[in-house]
């Protein structure tokens, strides 16, 4: 019995180690995608924002990718794409959207656009890296009790909000094809969106050039 127990523990440890290694490789793949789209950059301090150097930005980028991967791999979060690699593709697409919406800017991620030119962040109505319009309908897709500030305080909540709006768009615009199914995320309407097509193609181009590990 002792031998069987030890063997079982060893097997669990081996499987856990293998899973974590695979997750780490995917996280590295996702992080590298973001850095290819937008290299880490320094940000000078401004009113209400401490700023960051390149190394700090790189560390923040890796952390936000890890948080996103955790959310996307949650069994309760339905992926946007089917197949064994559907969750990895979902994470990649979300990152492409964040790149287009916020450029992974610290001011957008944590400080609700402080220090950015007037008019950015849709006049303060758009929140976190996904630039989610919380009070324009997104709140109805999220857990009761959430407030807009939750999205900037927690990357995981920003990821959940981004995914919720994308899934809603895919549902209401399901009669369209490919990236146009996500048009409502960008405009609130089911009309072909060049913006969403560009972000979708950004993810597709990375996937073609760098297959999943």
Residue 189 lies inside a defined structural domain of this protein: yes
Averaged pLDDT of the chain:
89
Residue 14 lies inside a defined structural domain of this protein: no
Residue 10 lies inside a defined structural domain of this protein: no
The predicted-structure confidence for 101-155, as pLDDT tens digits, reads as follows 999 999 999 999 998 888 789 988 999 999 999 988 899 999 999 999 999 999 9
Question: Is the model more confident about 8 or about 105?
Answer: 105
Give me the count of residues in the chain.
213
CA 99 to chain centre: 9
Residue 11 lies inside a defined structural domain of this protein: no
Closest CA to 105 of 157, 201, 29, 38: 38
User: 66: which 2 tokens?
Assistant: 């890890």
The predicted-structure confidence for 63-99, as pLDDT tens digits, reads as follows 999 999 999 999 999 999 999 999 999 999 999 999 9
At residue 46, the pLDDT reads: 87
Which of the four pLDDT bands, split at 50, 70 and 90, describes residue 4?
very low
Is 89 within 8 Å of 202 (Cβ atoms)?
no
Helices in 38-72 by DSSP H: which ranges?
A: 54-72
Residue 196 lies inside a defined structural domain of this protein: yes
Whether residue 21 has pLDDT greater than 50: no
Contacts of 52 (CB under 8 A, 6+ apart): 42, 43, 60, 106
d(CA 164, CA 178): 18
| Number of domains observed in the structure of the chain | 1
pTM: 0.88
Residue 65 lies inside a defined structural domain of this protein: yes
At residue 23, the pLDDT reads: 54
Q: How far is CA 22 from CA 7, 29, 99, 125, in A?
A: 23, 11, 24, 38
DSSP label at 43?
B
Range of the domain at 109: 27-209
């Amino acid at each position: 019995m002792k031998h069987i127990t030890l063997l079982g523990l060893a097997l669990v440890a081996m499987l856990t180690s293998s899973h974590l290694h695979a997750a780490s490789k995917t996280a590295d793949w996702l992080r590298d995608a973001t850095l290819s789209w937008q290299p880490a950059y320094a940000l000078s301090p401004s009113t209400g924002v401490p700023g960051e150097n390149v190394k700090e930005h790189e560390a923040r980028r890796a952390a936000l990718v890890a948080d996103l991967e955790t959310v996307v791999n949650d069994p309760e979060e339905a992926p946007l794409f089917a197949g064994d690699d559907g969750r990895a593709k979902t994470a990649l697409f979300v990152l492409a959207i964040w790149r287009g919406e916020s450029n992974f800017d610290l001011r957008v991620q944590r400080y609700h656009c402080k220090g950015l030119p007037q008019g950015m962040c849709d006049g303060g109505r758009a929140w976190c890296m996904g630039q989610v319009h919380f009070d324009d309908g997104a709140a109805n897709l999220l857990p009761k009790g959430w407030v807009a500030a939750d999205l900037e305080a927690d990357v995981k909540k920003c990821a959940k909000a981004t995914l919720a709006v994308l899934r809603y768009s895919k549902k209401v615009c399901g009669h369209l094809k490919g990236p146009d199914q996500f048009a409502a995320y960008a405009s609130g309407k089911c009309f072909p969106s060049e913006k969403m097509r560009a972000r979708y193609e950004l993810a597709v181009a990375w996937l073609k050039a760098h297959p999943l590990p």
